Amino acid sequence: MKSRIIAVVLFGLVGAAILVSLGLWQIQRLAWKQGVLADIEAHIAAEPVGLPDPVVRERDRYLPVEVGGRFSGDPVRVLVSLQGSGPGFRLVQAFETGGRRVLVDRGFLADGVAIPTAPQGDVTVTGNLHWPDEVDGFTPAPDLVRNQWFARDVSALATHLETEPVFVVLRGLSVSDTPVTPLPVTTQDIPNNHLGYAVQWFALALVWLGMTAFLLWRITRRRL
């Protein structure tokens, strides 16, 4: 009986220690992730520079840029739901600058509002280079008849609008683009669930200890 009690205690303590260590590891990961997000936010908010030539995706992700030129052709609508505003669309349009054609995300347009004509003539766009990761195996193909896309697929949009696969998410425009509202790049869409995971591991450790205590109680009751 005594050896059985010792075995149960050791099993319970070792299991709880493993679960607690996993929770502490997630706390460490949380601190690391917060540092990464702080670096990204500082990078996003830095002073804008000219559009690199060439643009290198890994190097230039989130790079703040300022480009002068003019909008070209018609925009495409990318379905999105904005908290507090309901469903609507991001307007993505070709932008000609210095002999190049790139993509510009003009911002949010509420559902049911007619697509406004883009500002005419030369304008200055301030924004951040971005390559959104919004496409997976469940993303529908774009409905070209209704001019409706379901994700910001940079490669596909570049092919469709005949631009470079360079995507500028607008945060400021030198002229008014009402009723389009800019939706600048932020870190809100970057997952940071480490605190939740840590809480789960710590909770499992408590459950594990509770089950161990219950098993010890059962063993001692049988002895009595």
pLDDT tens-digit map of 37-91: 999 999 999 999 999 999 999 999 999 999 999 999 999 999 998 877 789 999 9
pLDDT surpasses 90 at 25:
yes
Residue 55 structure tokens: 């643009």
pLDDT tens-digit map of 125-168: 999 999 999 999 999 999 999 999 999 999 999 999 999 999 99
Nearest Cα to 125, choosing from 203, 208, 43, 67? 67
pLDDT at 7: 85
pTM for the full predicted model: 0.83
Q: Which residue has the tokens 């409905």?
A: 143
Distance CA 219, CA 133 (A): 54
pLDDT at 224: 53
Average pLDDT value over all residues in the chain: 93
Nearest Cα to 180, choosing from 126, 87, 105? 105
Distance CA 80, CA 220 (A): 60
Distance CA 27, CA 110 (A): 40
Domain ranges, ordered by start, for the chain? 2-40+193-223, 63-173
Distance of CA 103 to the CA centre of its chain: 19
